[in-house]
A and B are shown apart, each in its own frame.
Chain A
Amino acid sequence: MVHWTAEEKQLIASVWGKVSVEECGAEALARLLIVYPWTQRFFDNFGNLSSPTAIIGNPKVRAHGKKVLTSFGEAIKNLDNLKGTYSKLSELHCEKLHVDPENFRLLGDILVVVLAAHFGKDFSPACQATWQKLVGVVAHALAHKYH
């Protein structure tokens, strides 16, 4: 089980409290598809992904980004039981979606960059370290049920 200090929990909560899940989720997913274009392989039915502009404006990308980040919010509410929280989603990503867990790490890093751009100097080194830890742990929990 992962241990979170009071300071880490505070840094997570204070950032999350100011995040628009819809905007941030859309941005993070769009950037994943732009910066690492091979990730588009999972989204054949999303329509036009032919350019950064197309991706950013794509309503399916926005909607799915929101879904993904909403789920992230669940993790934040359950920091003491991430594996349990993500058990079903982990099975889904393995058995139905066939997503290489490396992609969770990529999305996590992108989310951190999005937060950095959004919060500027407030996204201190301590804040980044906590969030890198969080995205790492979430990625690990999502990969946990793979077989």
Chain B
Amino acid sequence: VLTAEDKKLIQQTWGKLGGAEEEIGAEALWRMFHSYPPTKTYFPHFDLTQGSDQIRGHGKKVVAALGNAIKNLDNLSQALSELSNLHAYNLRVDPARFSLQFLSQCLQVTLATRLGKEYSPEVHSAVDKFMSAVAAVLAEKYR
């Protein structure tokens, strides 16, 4: 459960990204494709070379969705409802929790490389909880 403190930390951390959100999204995706090659199977229609427009574009989308979720931490289910439908009925990323864990890990590594010591244990915990909550909502309608 996201505590009030967690929510504060998440919002503060997101605030520190200072406009680099797109880059961060693209980097997280690239790291994910590199560390977990099976995740590429969901993108056969993409140019998956480093720095590709499609990776940048998709990274931007993902980060925008996360940014929106962060503005609606008290009602993630509703904020992510459309995406939840999409993942359940169209994308069917499977196993949902598993693959979304890979994205979560790579997003956290990306944030940690940029924030260094500021990616404290408390921030780490809050972000991990947030990503778990997002994954759970996205997987809600799978069956």
- Interface of A toward B, CB cutoff 8 Å: 30-31, 34-35, 52, 55-56, 109, 112-114, 116-121, 123, 125-126, 128-129, 132-133
* Contact of B122 with A116 in the complex, beta carbons under 8 Å: no
The yes or no answer to B113 lying at the interface (CB within 8 A) is yes
B36 CB contact (under 8 Å) in A30, A31, A35, A132: A132
Min CB distance A94 to B, Å, is 24
Residues from chain B with a CB closer than 8 A to the CB of A31 are: 121, 124-125
**Dominant SS among interface residues on chain B:** helix
Evaluate contact between B121 and A128: CB separation under 8 angstroms.
no
**Neighbouring B residues of A125 by C-beta, 8 Å:** 27, 30-31, 34-35
**Which of B62-70, B71-79, B85-93, B104-112 interfaces with chain A?**
B104-112
Contact (Cβ within 8 A) A52 B34: no
As a 0/1 sequence over residues 30 to 72 of chain B, the CB contacts with chain A under 8 angstroms (1 = contact) are: 1100111000000000000000000000000000000000000
Q: In whole angstroms, how far apart are the Cα atoms of A119 and B119 in the complex?
A: 12
Is the C-beta of B114 less than 8 angstroms from some C-beta in chain A? Answer: yes
Contacts of B106 in A (CB 8 A): 128
20 contacts between A and B (CB under 8 A): A31-B121, A34-B124, A35-B124, A35-B125, A52-B122, A52-B125, A55-B121, A56-B121, A109-B105, A113-B108, A113-B112, A117-B119, A119-B113, A120-B113, A121-B113, A121-B114, A126-B34, A128-B106, A129-B31, A133-B35
CA distance A31 to B126 in the complex (A): 12
Candidates A55, A123, A126; contact of B113 at CB < 8 Å:
A123
| B119:A128 contact, CB within 8 angstroms | no
Q: How far, in angstroms, from A121 to B30 measured CA to CA in the complex?
A: 14
- Closest Cβ–Cβ distance, residue A27 to chain B (whole Å): 8
Q: Which residues of A contact B17 (CB under 8 A)?
A: none
- What 9 A-B pairs are tightest by C-beta distance, nearest first? A116-B112, A117-B112, A129-B35, A132-B35, A116-B109, A35-B125, A129-B34, A125-B34, A34-B121
Interface-central residue, A56, A123, A132, by most chain B CB under 10 Å: A132
User: Bound complex: CA of A35 vs CA of B34, how far in Å?
Assistant: 25
Which residues from chain B contact A52 at a C-beta distance below 8 Å? 121-122, 125
